[in-house]
Amino acid sequence: MNVFNVAFLGAGRMGLTHLRNLAGVPGVHVRVVADTGLAKAENGAALVRAERATDDIGAAIGASDVDAVLIATPTGTHAELIEQCVRAGKPVWCEKPVGLTLADTQRVLRTVERSNIPVMIGFMRRFDPGYAAAKRAIDAGDVGRVERFRAISCDFTPPALAFIKTSGGIFVDMSVHDFDLARFLVGDVAEVSAWGGALIDPGYAEVGDVDTAVAMLRFANGALGVLEASRRTTWGYDIRTEVAGSRAKLVVEAPQKTPLLTSRDLGYAGTHYESFPDRFEAAYRAELAYFFACLRAGELPEPGVRDALESLRVALAATRSLKEGRPVKVEEI
Amino acid sequence: MNVFNVAFLGAGRMGLTHLRNLAGVPGVHVRVVADTGLAKAENGAALVRAERATDDIGAAIGASDVDAVLIATPTGTHAELIEQCVRAGKPVWCEKPVGLTLADTQRVLRTVERSNIPVMIGFMRRFDPGYAAAKRAIDAGDVGRVERFRAISCDFTPPALAFIKTSGGIFVDMSVHDFDLARFLVGDVAEVSAWGGALIDPGYAEVGDVDTAVAMLRFANGALGVLEASRRTTWGYDIRTEVAGSRAKLVVEAPQKTPLLTSRDLGYAGTHYESFPDRFEAAYRAELAYFFACLRAGELPEPGVRDALESLRVALAATRSLKEGRPVKVEEI
Amino acid sequence: MNVFNVAFLGAGRMGLTHLRNLAGVPGVHVRVVADTGLAKAENGAALVRAERATDDIGAAIGASDVDAVLIATPTGTHAELIEQCVRAGKPVWCEKPVGLTLADTQRVLRTVERSNIPVMIGFMRRFDPGYAAAKRAIDAGDVGRVERFRAISCDFTPPALAFIKTSGGIFVDMSVHDFDLARFLVGDVAEVSAWGGALIDPGYAEVGDVDTAVAMLRFANGALGVLEASRRTTWGYDIRTEVAGSRAKLVVEAPQKTPLLTSRDLGYAGTHYESFPDRFEAAYRAELAYFFACLRAGELPEPGVRDALESLRVALAATRSLKEGRPVKVEEI
Amino acid sequence: MNVFNVAFLGAGRMGLTHLRNLAGVPGVHVRVVADTGLAKAENGAALVRAERATDDIGAAIGASDVDAVLIATPTGTHAELIEQCVRAGKPVWCEKPVGLTLADTQRVLRTVERSNIPVMIGFMRRFDPGYAAAKRAIDAGDVGRVERFRAISCDFTPPALAFIKTSGGIFVDMSVHDFDLARFLVGDVAEVSAWGGALIDPGYAEVGDVDTAVAMLRFANGALGVLEASRRTTWGYDIRTEVAGSRAKLVVEAPQKTPLLTSRDLGYAGTHYESFPDRFEAAYRAELAYFFACLRAGELPEPGVRDALESLRVALAATRSLKEGRPVKVEEI
């Protein structure tokens, strides 16, 4: 088995998770960990026994002993770093999103499509065993014609308001994962209508965002959908996705985090997942394994920048609907 | 225990179910079963050993040995029969709806409110142990401030298109139960936005209706909701209701009809309910018991005609939104 | 539909439950409620508008306007009352058990079998939708050859020690239901080995009983089984039955009493049933309906006295095994 | 973080799984993979980029650049290899069992206890999030006094009869994991009574074993338990463990392998796990991480050889009970 030597960019919390997962992927060796904070880079490098750590990200990308680049840096840097990698001829796996604006994402898409360099964007949910099995069932015709879609994604712990200001809003920051699933499982979204409110914290309204939102989706193939999003629950990471068709209905939901039920006081209790890292632990491992399997097989990994662009477009349509109080066609965006 | 002697109107399929349930309510005796078809009336009367059967409905209502009237006749007759009972001074339990138009329902409401005669409308879901417990939890503050509501109600078997023409449309005929639950569990609905389509059978479009619909709800207290409805599934009666608040989330769903799981071929399988009569079997019994308990205690039973009116108003707002392609405020109706 | 006029004997707590259920069975009319306490008899009679109440049980059985007798009197009276009914030529439904000793039960069996009068014993679990569906699946061959059986039945609230003294012991009093299910679902039990202890309350040991017990079953067809019983839990009525075969496994368990899940604090919670009356509410109704359907069809209802005898025999074998510390073949009993 | 350099012995199917998991444990580097088949060793070495592969197992253990040894060789070699490692002063993690005979296991225990070298035996279930949480709950007193224990473990695919002959029998080969859990969660087992049969394949009887078994356990603290084991199911790996006490009941069971439910035809279906590698995927990773965390902290990892010895003793008592048809006290063994 030929070994891929990689540069890993961004050794923050999720970066370390990816590094640990990478260590379990056979045939991959991390040559260099780069982070603008050198201590973080060194910490990441030690974790996987990488040859070197650096705060010179450009040098890491360009290094002659690096075959591929993995990007887990802050969102604002993704577009520029992907382009840099592509120019250097290095295949890329990058955390979602490519960018928060359509213009940025379109520019990256053009660069990538001209190059034919493999670029995969980390919509990890597609690699969860539940979503992957749902996709296979739909493609196999087991669900028949899809008629309805339902997505709910609510976080347990709200982010700091400082982050909200630059997040792109609840649909671009959170629901984009659901829009990606909608496209993955059902197909193109034609129209969105959204409502929202600052029900949890009035601070969201002050920064022009909402903390609670609902939306309707109209798919190009006629299917209809609903979506819910919330920045905070008291019961854990609340994520459930349903696809109903003429033959069957699929529900993707992990019913309990720990395989333990406790009974007492005339009832029983189980545990919910806390957030995306624990709910999607297996998915994060699977997507990296898939990325390198594609490189090895000479295939273009998916989802790529075009998927990121199309999901962003839906998120922006929802955002505009929310602001303008009217249904918005995705083609307007 | 004083015994209530009742007249039972309408001995069709649901009428017989109610008659059987009535037989299990202590302190109630059916004196007369009335139906425009005398054979049906006699069949119903035999079932509960009622003294007499008749096709003269007016006589049954007016009979001097009748203390209360239960109405399970076709929808189009409800308004007129309720008014007749009220004029005769007889307490009424009547299957939902009061009427399919706002005018009819408002007229009945005026008659009822002037009279102070107890009139209960059969929104049986409120008496399901799950919904009743949800209501108690919300009233006790266990859920905190309600932020989100979700309802899905899909029938297993679609009705004949001939019925659809006179049904009032999917929101008035089917989702009105969900609008009643929305009001019961969360509070007044201020605005609705709805989309729909004839995805199952183009015949729905030909009669000006849809077979698949989604909607967003905005409650007067700021909470947001989503709703799904479908006339046909292949997997059974699909009904689930969620209420999420600042402290907890409630999910009302009966996970399986029969308490049996069968495992084979690397998987397991359970059964869904088929339709409202089996899913709400206990609720139908409970609502009749409650009605007579109220009469005995001298209390006005709920939900009454005003609830029916308000839920209808939401359903009509959804219908208008569907037709006009815009959000509709309930106060417009 | 011809109407069965019945005498109902025993208007205690379970008697009233049966009376209420009886009221919902079409074609059945309670003529007389009898109880050694006249006030209780009158209370029961009022509940179902029976013509009369009496403390003369013999008169009730013998009354010329009584077609069938239902017995819900204390256990110690069952054998004698069944025999009295059979001598009077009246079909009988009687709460389990027939008697606590083999001799009593055998005597009743002889009387019944000579007479050809229908006598049904109230092992209501067989009429639960879950157990009934399990039986149908096994009979249809869906499970293949049965290899393993597992039963657990634990009560929520322990009975008074005064009752324990005369109960016949944990296997005769509680597990006899599981032995009946074992025979119903798998077949004859050939051998039992049992262990027990007074783990909850040392008072059980003082009266020669145990409050916690386990057992192994060897069936005549070679299948093997395990059984657990406990007089007290803190989490509700704990009852689950499993049948595993060469083709499939069946698990009969009602996962939650109320169709409501509450999520909060990183977890979710549901409710357990409290005891047999709520867990088997539907079964109690179904068994009475079945009894009268058999009478109407001229068929002998099951389970009858022979089933009660055979299940008692297994329970006595378990009791002997517990006392003698060795496996006991059922044919020894 | 100091790095542990390890020798990995045995590159068969489970060996490769452990190697992949090891790759995800930070601070661990595989220096050498050894297997009596050199090609297998080389395959394993390539997987984790180990410096070298060898068929000289002794040399791998003794290598001066090896800090610790992981053993995943065939069962028959464990005892000897553990002793060799201990003599070489190298900490050991070894797949269960230490040996199939008491004598072998006792000899290894003496060697290990004299040495004070950390030796951990791979009873991986203890590291499953469900079992680990159950243990914490019991230790915290949440369950109260333990009264009952239930274990079921059934394999999906039966092993070849050739393996069965040398397996030590169903209790030593399969149920030893349940006996380990019994001791882990409840405490010492005092007595066992077991029954079994060749219900699936008469070949088991021919080699003096059974394919289906049940047992009762009596714990030193008075608690009682039941156990089921089977070599073959058609529905997947069937494993469920229950601990019931005076305050609560714990059920450890993974309800579905894939977080997806499919509804159709009036029912719904989910998936079971297929076998221990998929059910205990997380546990396998966790136990290796724990082993190195102990080494790093200077603590003795558990379970060790003494635990393996005691669980084997219970398994041998069950085996003797099965053969002799009587309850067997564990102290007899």
The DSSP-derived string for A261-288 is EEEETTEEEEE---SHHHHTHHHHHHHH
Selected residue of A217, A233, A247 to mutate for chain B interface (largest B Cβ count, 10 A): A233
SS3 D185: helix
Q: What is the pLDDT of residue C25?
A: 87
Residues of D in contact with C235 (CB under 8 A): 248-249
CA angle, residues D3, D9, D13, in degrees to nearest 5: 110
Residue A6 has pLDDT above 70, yes or no: yes
* Minimal Cβ distance to D259: which of A1, A27, A254: A254
Q: What is the pLDDT of residue A1?
A: 54
Q: What is the pLDDT of residue B48?
A: 86
Residue C1 has pLDDT above 70, yes or no: no
Residue A49 has pLDDT above 90, yes or no: no
* Minimal Cβ distance to B137: which of C130, C249, C262: C262
Q: What is the pLDDT of residue D113?
A: 96
| Cβ contact C319:C169 at 8 Å | yes
Q: What is the pLDDT confidence band of residue A25, given thresholds at 50, 70 and 90?
A: confident
- With an 8 Å Cβ cutoff, are A269 and C269 in contact? yes
Residues of C in contact with B136 (CB under 8 A): none
Name the closest residue on chain D to residue B156, using Cα atoms. Answer: D266
Instruction: Return phi, psi of residue A298, to 5°.
Output: 70, 25
Q: State the SS3 of chain C.
A: CCCEEEEEECCCHHHHHHHHHHHCCCCEEEEEEECCCHHHHHHHHHHHCCCEEECCHHHHHHCCCCCEEEECCCHHHHHHHHHHHHHCCCCEEEECCCCCCHHHHHHHHHHHHHHCCCEEEECHHHHCHHHHHHHHHHHCCCCCCEEEEEEEEECCCCCCHHHHHCCCCHHHHHHHHHHHHHHHHCCCEEEEEEEEECCCCCHHHHCCCCCEEEEEEEECCCCEEEEEEECCCCCCCEEEEEEEECCCEEEECCCCCCCEEEEECCEEEEECCCCHHHHCHHHHHHHHHHHHHHHHHCCCCCCCHHHHHHHHHHHHHHHHHHHHCCCEEHHHC
Name the closest residue on chain D to residue B260, using Cα atoms. Answer: D267
Q: What is the pLDDT of residue B26?
A: 80
Strand partners, C92: C69, C119
Q: What is the pLDDT of residue A47?
A: 86
Q: What is the pLDDT of residue B2?
A: 74
A198 phi-psi bin (left φ>0, alpha ψ -120 to 50, beta other): beta
Residue A185 has pLDDT above 90, yes or no: yes
How far is Cα B297 from Cα A95, in angstroms, rounded to an integer?
A: 65
Tell me how far the alpha carbon of residue A40 is from its chain's centroid.
23
Q: What is the pLDDT of residue B258?
A: 97
> Mean pLDDT score of chain C, rounded to an integer?
96
What is the ipTM, given to two decimal places?
A: 0.95
C3 and chain B in contact, CB less than 8 A: yes
Q: What is the pLDDT confidence band of residue A159, given thresholds at 50, 70 and 90?
A: very high
B249 and chain A in contact, CB less than 8 A: yes
Strand partners, D270: B268
The 10s digit of each residue's pLDDT in C268-303 is: 999 999 999 999 999 999 999 999 999 999 999 999
Q: Which residue has the higher pLDDT, C251 or D27?
A: C251
The 10s digit of each residue's pLDDT in B142-180 is: 999 999 999 999 999 999 999 999 999 999 999 999 999
The 10s digit of each residue's pLDDT in C34-88 is: 999 999 999 999 888 899 999 999 999 999 999 999 999 999 999 999 999 999 9
Q: What is the pLDDT of residue B23?
A: 83
Name the closest residue on chain B to residue A147, using Cα atoms. Answer: B199
Task: List Cα–Cα distances, B268 to B271, C132, D183, D260, in angstroms.
Answer: 11, 18, 31, 12
Taking the CA of residue D208 and the nearest CA in chain A, the distance in Å comes to 36
Residue C303: is the preceding peptide bond cis (ω within 30°)? yes
Residues of chain D falling short of pLDDT 70: 1
Taking the CA of residue D24 and the nearest CA in chain C, the distance in Å comes to 28
SS3 A185: helix
Neighboring chains of A (3 or more beta-carbon pairs < 8 A) = B, C, D
C294 and chain D in contact, CB less than 8 A: no
How far is Cα B177 from Cα B167, in angstroms, rounded to an integer?
A: 14
Residues of chain B falling short of pLDDT 50: none
Window D:98-157, CB contacts with A under 8 Å: 128-130, 133-134, 137, 142
C26 and chain B in contact, CB less than 8 A: yes
The DSSP-derived string for A217-263 is EEETTS-EEEEEEES--SS--EEEEEEEESS-EEEE----SSSEEEE
Taking the CA of residue A72 and the nearest CA in chain B, the distance in Å comes to 33
Q: What is the pLDDT of residue C48?
A: 87
The DSSP-derived string for D100-147 is SSHHHHHHHHHHHHHHT--EEEE-GGGGSHHHHHHHHHHHTTTT-SEE
Q: What is the pLDDT confidence band of residue A2, given thresholds at 50, 70 and 90?
A: confident
SS3 B138: helix
- With an 8 Å Cβ cutoff, are A49 and D3 in contact? yes
The 10s digit of each residue's pLDDT in A237-255 is: 999 999 999 999 999 999 8
SS3 A116: coil
Q: What is the pLDDT of residue D1?
A: 54
- With an 8 Å Cβ cutoff, are B249 and C260 in contact? no
How far is Cα C246 from Cα D212, in angstroms, rounded to an integer?
A: 11
Instruction: Return phi, psi of residue C47, to 5°.
Output: -55, -40
Q: In terms of pTM, does the model score above 0.90?
A: yes
Q: State the CB neighbour count (10 A cutoff) for residue B63.
A: 21
